[in-house]
A and B are shown apart, each in its own frame.
Chain A
């Protein structure tokens, strides 16, 4: 590949490899993030011609939006985050601030502490702390969290995708109610 080639983009193979595996790239990813951000138009065009949809989130991170083969792990990860959001709110914590700044520890998580949360997790196929760790591995793989040790982690900016899902679910429900009320 010559230097003048339009495909001669910095860290192309690493970026493509990460994105196609569903990873979300944010500022914490350092050189990959900056290479993508500084050559965004070129990357978007290239990926578009290859049939990939590169998404730029308002919170300044990047990811591929899949079409056909979608990760079924999304459900388990989302349920994990939904439970955490509800539990933090019930404790009177500022949810977004706490989620995005606090370091969490598996034994302290609320997920297995109450029967209702255990039932949700069971529906998502997780019943033990090991299963929780497995979900954390998935969250880490896709770039939603940063694992510090086996048992501790903190959320990365791409976790905002789960917040978007919450709002989308609420909007969907409100639209449904509105529709039902329309004579």
Chain B
């Protein structure tokens, strides 16, 4: 019962609630014996628990960060390092740790322990090492709230004060749990963001983005959906608020209960305000980092992909010159200003000397070119010609093969003469080659 009349009673109830999470696991401290009777369950004295926790705080802190568990040997060594003269031996301390339900064996391992969930939660809270609650869990709470609201409405209809008080108590506890989880999420998210920003573990950009993307998609996006004013949560809390107002009126004459109704509405109002605040604060921390890591991650993935593609299909496959499109400017066939200036400087004041006379060697140089006009004149006067190629070889013995064939072609294409081809092929030996052709007889056109 949360609404015990006296403050002392309320504290006692709160303490009970505080320990209700783990009281079923607390085991009896086994007097002066090392034996721990795990099956004999009874409440540990909270004062003894906290006194022990205070004495062994460095040990608890060390164990808290060993999330994967610790062996009995590790535990003994850790106890030895903080042991003072007169302190109990490690075996005794291990027994005490178990008897206070601070540690318990890991199910699938021998002589290996882990912190119990309630102690882990307590230390998480004290060390601000918040663990994140998924939005699904919050949704379950909200469904529970909806069911409790119906219970409250029923109690109000039947004017059952005790039933209404019980439902109201459960609603208050749930509201507080949601509020604490929301706040814890905010702290947890901010803590993660700080860790990511400092990046002491030297994680790669991809790893960092995976973490932030996880926070984003698992906690923030669903939470945004959840607190969206047009969506389920808001409608559910509106309904609850209406129920609290209406049912409160039914018990207006019961002063204590009426106050609890009023307090519960205040809790609800605070929850709505703080959840939105927690969400906005979380977003404010996460969004810039998410955006920047997303960009960086894309950049790194793009670079790695380019290198991979280059490895697989070659550099050209990336078409980087086309993507970058950096222009190249080439000026061809012109002088640069400097070289032109140097050239002009060089020719300034230049006085040409007397040219050297051409020397006549007396040798007759034979032409290797058959002038078309001369060819046609000579051929015209020689007509009829029985064999054109033989005539050319005879009349132009000095020219090479190329020029000979060119002259043959010119005559062949010229249409002013009658042309007759012989039946049999004939061989025409030249200096380097032998031509084979049918003789062409040329006559004047009639």
Contacts and interface: CB of A to CB of B under 8 A. Distances in A.
The yes or no verdict on A and B being binding partners is yes
B328 A123 contact: no
Interface string B308-326: 0111001110101111111
B295 interface: yes
Given A66-B328, A96-B295, 7 more contacts: A65-B327, A66-B325, A81-B303, A82-B307, A92-B201, A92-B204, A120-B310
B269 interface: no
Interface in A133-180: 142, 161, 163, 165-170, 173
Interface in A40-63: 63
A65 B325 contact: yes
A91 B322 CA distance: 31
A112 interface: no
A73 B302 contact: no
Contacts of A168: 302, 323
Contact of A89 (B300, B320, B330): B300
B321 A72 contact: yes
Given A20-B329, A92-B204, A96-B295, A166 B302 contact: yes
A143 to B, nearest CB: 10
A83 to B, nearest CB: 7
B243 to A, nearest CB: 49
A27 interface: no
A78 B330 contact: no
Contact of A71 (B298, B300, B324): B324
B205 interface: yes
A21 interface: yes
A169 B302 contact: yes
Nearest to B300: A89
Contacts of B316: 75
Contacts of B205: 89, 92, 94-95
Contacts, number: 135
Interface string A93-130: 01110000000000000000000000110011000000
A86 interface: yes
B301 interface: yes
Contacts of B318: 75, 78, 169
A120 B311 contact: yes
A95 B296 contact: yes
B203 interface: yes
B206 interface: yes
Interface of B: 199, 201-206, 295-296, 298-307, 309-311, 314-316, 318, 320-330
A21 B320 CA distance: 18
B321 A75 contact: yes
Given A95-B300, A123-B314, A166-B299, A71 B328 contact: yes
Contacts of A20: 327, 329
13 contacts: A63-B326, A66-B326, A71-B326, A73-B326, A74-B321, A79-B307, A82-B303, A91-B202, A95-B300, A165-B302, A166-B303, A169-B302, A170-B301
Q: Tell me what chain B mostly uses at the interface: helix, strand, loop, or mixed.
A: helix
Contacts of B306: 78-79, 82, 165-166, 169
B328 A96 contact: no
Interface string A15-46: 00000111000000000000000000000000
A138 to B, nearest CB: 10
Most B CB contacts (10 A, CB to CB) among A91, A161, A165 go to A165
A14 interface: no
Given A65-B325, A83-B307, A165-B324, A75 B315 contact: yes
B302 A170 contact: yes
Most A CB contacts (10 A, CB to CB) among B307, B310, B316, B321 go to B307
B111 to A, nearest CB: 36
Contact of B310 (A123, A170, A173): A123
B392 to A, nearest CB: 50
Contacts of A22: 326-329
Contacts of B206: 89
A69 interface: yes
B300 A69 contact: no
A54 to B, nearest CB: 11
A72 to B, nearest CB: 6
Most B CB contacts (10 A, CB to CB) among A75, A92, A95, A169 go to A169
